[in-house]
Amino acid sequence: MRLVLAPDSFKESLTAQQAAQAMSAGVRAVLPDADLVLIPMADGGEGTVQSLVDATSGHIVTRQVRGPLGRQVEARFGMLGDGHTAIIEMAEASGLQLVPVAERNPLVTTTYGTGELIRAALEEGARSIILGIGGSATVDGGAGMAQALGYRLTDASGAELAPGGAALADLAHIDASGADPRLRALTILIASDVTNPLTGPEGSAAVFGPQKGATPEMVSQLDAALAHFARVVRTDLGREVDQATGAGAAGGLGAGLLAFTESEMRSGFDIVAEYAHLAEACQGADFVLTGEGSIDRQTLRGKTPLGVAQVAKHVAPDTTVIALAGRIGPGAEELYTLGIDAIFSIVPGATTLSDALSNGAENITRTTENVMRFLLRVSA
């Protein structure tokens, strides 16, 4: 019997690799000789670096970079097993979790550290980068990233712009002459499911600014600054980024990547599935097991369990897809018509969140074993 085990991480409990191993233990308790393929998955958000490093036998690199407020932080990125592809999560250097609640201010936070991670990946020999751009603390249009990569962004007096989104209102000129020459041969896949434009009522400042600490007044200020930034990009770089699909992701970092690098925006799940060879693994599979911490209506929006089910059903229509979750929420039943055949909660009964998180591996193993015993009985 062939089974593919392709879960996402169970947030704050298990990495995707650990979740897959826990599933494996449950299967082995029933079918010790089963043909198991473990493919830790992600959708471009938190955990994508670890998932792709695990899936490709790559390695983790750690660097000290500038955080959102200019303080040094330790950030990780991955080099995949092919030796020339890097995987970066911008949140490692420029994420909201790095800024205390009382200090959250997108007028001044910067993506400079994300640019430093791109430069570090180039130093490791990367010729292509997968860049996950969720969870940012910034609304600077990727200006800080560009400055870290050698671009000069100056005001009317020729002075370099200060960090943060507010300073974009003073941008007069973008000088690309000092940009890292290695960027010309670098391709970046932007892993994002955000489709918002850079500016306007659905833009970066309006939709995502408040969660980064922006007041209504700040939102208006940032939206105007980003619109001005886009006009200077059009004049000096010849690229239209304001209304580009996904330009508003990560505080406009989507726009910055499209402006300053050779980039392409794609679904985070699709990128991970491609590099992890998920479709190939699912061919001929009897069962496919997936899952993540919570499965609900949000899972319909490109989350890993649905993505795994759709890939599996496309290449192996008769396979059975089962999802495990720490929490099954409203709307989960809609997944039954989209490729997931059954959803099981791993939580054994009334418990505290702390206990549920600390016992994640045990709960996944036990639930997987019970599911497999049932499947073997009904298929006998």
Strand partners, 210: none
Q: What are the angstrom distances between the C-alpha of 355 and each of 344, 347, 365, 368?
A: 18, 10, 16, 19
Q: Does domain 2-40+277-379 have CATH number 3.40.50.2300?
A: no
Task: Enter the tokens of residue 135.
Answer: 């969870």
Q: Is the pLDDT of residue 46 over 80?
A: no
Q: In angstroms, rounded to a whole number, what is the distance separating the alpha carbons of residues 140 and 226?
A: 8
**pTM score above 0.85:** no
Q: Is the pLDDT of residue 68 over 80?
A: yes
If one compares 202 and 379, the residue with the highest pLDDT of the two is 202
Question: What CATH number labels 48-269?
Answer: 3.90.1510.10
**Cβ–Cβ < 8 Å for 255, 241:** yes
**Cβ–Cβ < 8 Å for 80, 60:** no
Q: What are the angstrom distances between the C-alpha of 239 and each of 140, 259, 281, 339, 373?
A: 17, 6, 40, 40, 57
Q: In what order do the strands lie in the sheet with 320-328?
A: 35-38, 2-5, 287-295, 320-328, 342-345
- 3-class SS of residue 302: coil
Q: In angstroms, rounded to a whole number, what is the distance separating the alpha carbons of residues 68 and 98?
A: 7
**pLDDT, position 380:** 67
10-19, 71-80, 135-144, 194-203: segment of lowest average pLDDT = 10-19
Q: Is the pLDDT of residue 350 over 80?
A: no
**Cβ–Cβ < 8 Å for 284, 40:** no
Q: Is the pLDDT of residue 54 over 90?
A: no
Q: What percent of the chain has pLDDT over 90?
A: 83
**pLDDT, position 218:** 97
* Domain residue ranges in the chain: 2-40+277-379, 48-269
Task: Enter the tokens of residue 113.
Answer: 């550290």
If one compares 64 and 44, the residue with the highest pLDDT of the two is 64
Q: What is the pLDDT of residues 128-183, one digit of tens each?
A: 999 999 889 999 999 999 999 999 999 999 999 999 999 999 999 999 999 999 99
**pLDDT, position 193:** 76
The arithmetic mean of pLDDT across residues 86-92, rounded, is 95
Q: In angstroms, rounded to a whole number, what is the distance separating the alpha carbons of residues 114 and 238?
A: 23
Q: In angstroms, rounded to a whole number, what is the distance separating the alpha carbons of residues 299 and 181?
A: 40
220-234, 293-307, 361-375: segment of lowest average pLDDT = 293-307
| Confidence category of residue 355, pLDDT binned at 50, 70, 90 | confident
Number of Cβ within a 10 Å radius of residue 188: 23
| Confidence category of residue 124, pLDDT binned at 50, 70, 90 | very high
| Confidence category of residue 42, pLDDT binned at 50, 70, 90 | confident
| Confidence category of residue 273, pLDDT binned at 50, 70, 90 | very high
**Cβ–Cβ < 8 Å for 311, 270:** no
Q: Is the pLDDT of residue 374 over 90?
A: yes
**pLDDT, position 166:** 98
Closest by CA position to 362, among listed 9, 14, 5: 14
| Confidence category of residue 47, pLDDT binned at 50, 70, 90 | confident
Q: In angstroms, rounded to a whole number, what is the distance separating the alpha carbons of residues 143 and 164?
A: 8
Q: Is the pLDDT of residue 297 over 90?
A: no
Write down the mean pLDDT value for the chain: 94
If one compares 280 and 354, the residue with the highest pLDDT of the two is 280
The arithmetic mean of pLDDT across residues 223-250, rounded, is 96
Task: Tally DSSP H helices, then E strands, for the chain.
Answer: 13, 13
Answer positive or negative: Cα dihedral of 15, 19, 21, 25.
positive
